[in-house]
Amino acid sequence: MSRFADELRSLVDDLAASGRPDLWGSLCDLGLPRVGIEEERGGSGGSLDDLLVVVESLAGHGIGVPVVEASTADWVLSHARRLDGELTTVLLLDRAPGTASGVITAELTAVPWARDAARLVLCAPGAAPLLVDLRHPSVTVRDVDNIAGEPRDTVTLTDTPVIVLDGAPSHEVVRERLALVWSAAVLGAARGAYRLTKTYVSEREQFGAPLLKIPAVSGNLARIRVQLVQADAALALASEAATLSGAVEIARITTAAAATEIAQIAHQLHGAMGITDEYPLHRLTRRLWSWRDAVASERRWAESLGRRAAEAGESGVWTRITATGR
Amino acid sequence: MDHSPGTDSCAELRAQVRELTAEWRDTGRYVPRSDSWLRSFDLEFSKELAARGLVAMTYPKEFGGAERTNVERLAVTEELLRAGAPVAAHWIGDRQIGPAVLRHGTRELREEIVPRIASGEAVFCLGMSEPEAGSDLASVRTKAERVEGGWLINGHKIWTTQAHHATHAYLLARTSREERKHDGLSEFILDMDAEGVQVTPIVDLAGEHHFNEVRFENVFVPAHRVIGEVGKGWKQVVEQLSFERGGAERSLSSYPVFVELIAEAARQRDDRELHALLGSLVARLAVLRRLCFEVASAMDAGQAPVQQAAALKYLGNAFEHDVIEALRRTDLCQDLAFDSTFGQALLASPAFSLRGGAAEVLLSLIARQEARS
């Protein structure tokens, strides 16, 4: 667990409450997206756990900033070069693009924040990550938003020059880190939805008393709490695990399932108020829906965890499960 | 790598349990089964565990315990449940009555009762539930009246697991009528062979006899058999419930079915849906295990994690049910023989989310905490 958790949380809370127009700029000035990267490489120092706290706290406010993508891309980039002030984003590919003579031609979909980013880190299995200059004249970016209203653009590369990031982490390692950071983001948004819901049912009165007095309402709020307890435990497991393998799948599956149930209950308890543009619930639930399956769907994580469990057999599964959290 | 104290000792303890259960299983001294912590009664096995220091693990040495941590105890209970071992004879005494007496009992009571739990001699049943009370413990009606040298008990308990084997009963009784029904309750220990105790079997839907009704007619209990303060039993019971709810037995009752599910998923290499189902169950079990660990750690820190234990039991029971349902995705569910793994677990399953507080009650407990926080 992060030693600076409380400090980081209150820092993020203060920023979120300040209502600054350029929140991302302020976050970058404070070096928050570069927590968990060594200072010698241009990072802010601290551990991955610290970064998870930052991501979770930001997500809890329903704030749309490219913190997951930028922190991961910078971390990859920091293995190959010293970081500068530019925004870099990241995309995982299923298979390596052809990079004959140092150029690449491809159409990339759902590239997060491409319209705002200066560079893109591309990670594919079996190859070193590639760095693309998104401001190169051969690059075109078409704006596409996901259901949370966040940029997931289409990027067309035509004989675009790429740099091979030798010494950077492999696709698999980047994928796991990205998945873990997304898990923290989902947990944060889920916690935000819980807080909002709890406040609403405590303050809104019907039938002469706060909604919370209705047993069905308080029971549903308890179900949200139970989901948060699970998601917390899954994140704790993943951040303490000696190797992320398996633990990340567990975190992903658990937070995704929690996101699904919490979004559903939060809307139910808010009644029609929760589906208005004006009320902030949708900033959290739309993100829960788009983030829960980021990197890979809950179903895919479950399938791969299950396949490995079947291969390991009961004894392998048991040893793995009981080895954690001692 | 984790080098915190306890890691190595946990591994050793696990190995010790595995060796013992393998030996007993291989020589046919027990057959692994679902829900073994309630259904599989073998006093000899419990005594064997006790002789090896695997019962009363967290109790002080002066009362026959091993002075180990709750985290170490968790390692042992997990391995026993995994093996489906016959542990019902000592489970309840070890899990909650020993700790309750150690926390609140007088010196005399501790000396009398605790070493006998530790040696496997004292077999406990829980006199909590009553016919009209259900999960509402505070509406207990069984009465204890003060008489010379002790108390006279009159009342009726139900769903008393293993009462027919028990040497002792823990009993929650009303010692006075107060305005708040949570007040005026007291905890007692009584001998099951005392005059006026009558045990009647209740056969369950699997045709098995674990439950009983127990009637108390003018049963005398000596004064020193009160646990803690007269009339303040409620607070003590609530604490006790975190021992009752927060253990690994709340997730592993249907573990033998889970074992079959893993094996079947290995055979059905191309069944991606089955793999996905197994994967989500593995994730849930890993998280439950983590929560068990957190509850055990909290107990080691001297806390009674009532809410966490309630959440754990709620989630654990849902997992136990879903494991059984998952097997229905395979052809293994065709084996509905009474003694099949699937059949046995299915027939045991309705009890999972009832005992120790119904699911809805646990939710309302968590909800009350939410309203306060």
The shortest C-alpha distance from B80 to chain A (Å) reads: 13
Q: B75 vs A322: CB contact, 8 Å cut-off?
A: yes
Q: How far apart are CA B301 and CA B2, in angstroms?
A: 19
Residue B285, token pair as written in the block = 């079990």
The yes-or-no verdict on residue B5 having pLDDT over 70 is no
Q: B290 vs A324: CB contact, 8 Å cut-off?
A: yes
Q: B287 vs A249: CB contact, 8 Å cut-off?
A: no
Q: What is the mean pLDDT of residues A110-127?
A: 97
Find which of A220, A226, A244 to mutate to test the B interface (most B CBs within 10 Å of its CB). Answer: A226
Write the pLDDT tens digit of every residue in B91-142. 999 999 999 999 999 999 999 999 999 999 999 999 999 998 877 888 899 9
Single-letter amino acid code for the residue at B301? A
The yes-or-no verdict on residue B373 having pLDDT over 80 is no
Write the pLDDT tens digit of every residue in A129-173. 999 999 999 999 999 999 999 999 999 999 999 999 999 999 999
For the ranges A6-10, A147-151, B7-11, the lowest mean pLDDT is seen at B7-11
The yes-or-no verdict on residue A256 having pLDDT over 90 is yes
The yes-or-no verdict on residue A30 having pLDDT over 80 is yes
Find which of B315, B368, B370, B372 to mutate to test the A interface (most A CBs within 10 Å of its CB). Answer: B370
Q: How far apart are CA B136 and CA B120, in angstroms?
A: 31
* Residues B290-309 as b or e (16 or more Cβ within 10 Å = b): bbbbbbbbbbbeeebbbbbb
- Residues of A with CB below 8 A from B279's CB? 249, 253, 301-307, 309
pLDDT of residue A1: 64
For the ranges A166-180, B166-180, B237-251, the lowest mean pLDDT is seen at B237-251
Residue A180, token pair as written in the block = 């873990």
For the ranges A106-120, B74-88, B228-242, the lowest mean pLDDT is seen at B228-242
The shortest C-alpha distance from B328 to chain A (Å) reads: 17
Q: A306 vs B366: CB contact, 8 Å cut-off?
A: no
Contact between A79 and A129 under an 8 Å Cβ cutoff? The reply is: no
The shortest C-alpha distance from A142 to chain B (Å) reads: 35
Question: Pick from A57, A79, A62, A75: which is nearest to A11 by CA?
Answer: A57
pLDDT of residue B334: 87
Write the pLDDT tens digit of every residue in A278-303. 999 999 999 999 999 999 999 999 99
Q: Which of B7, B285, B314 sits opposite A321 (nearest CB)?
A: B285
Measured between alpha carbons, how far is residue B97 from residues A9, A265, B126, B136, B237 in Å?
Answer: 42, 39, 9, 20, 10
Q: How far apart are CA B272 and CA B278, in angstroms?
A: 10
pLDDT of residue B244: 83
Q: Which of A221, A240, A321 sits opposite B370 (nearest CB)?
A: A221
- Residues of A with CB below 8 A from B372's CB? none
Average pLDDT over chain A reads 94
The shortest C-alpha distance from B289 to chain A (Å) reads: 7
Q: How far apart are CA A292 and CA A289, in angstroms?
A: 6
- Residue A302 half-sphere exposure toward CB, CA atoms < 13 A: 23
Single-letter amino acid code for the residue at A158? T
Q: Would an 8 Å CB–CB cutoff place B125 in contact with chain A?
A: no
Active centre residues of B (catalytic):
244
Q: How far apart are CA A132 and CA A122, in angstroms?
A: 8
Q: CA of B311: which chain A residue's CA is closest?
A: A226
- pLDDT category at B29 given cuts 50, 70, 90 is very high
pLDDT of residue B2: 41
Write the pLDDT tens digit of every residue in A193-226. 999 999 999 999 999 999 999 999 999 999 999 9
pLDDT of residue B356: 82
pLDDT of residue B361: 87
Residue B208, token pair as written in the block = 């098995």
- pLDDT category at B304 given cuts 50, 70, 90 is confident
pLDDT of residue B138: 86
- Enter the pTM of the model: 0.94
Q: What is the mean pLDDT of residues A164-191?
A: 96
Q: Which of A222, A254, A326 sits opposite B283 (nearest CB)?
A: A254
H-type helices in chain A, by residue range?
5-18, 23-29, 48-60, 67-78, 171-203, 215-240, 247-270, 281-291, 298-323
pLDDT of residue A21: 86
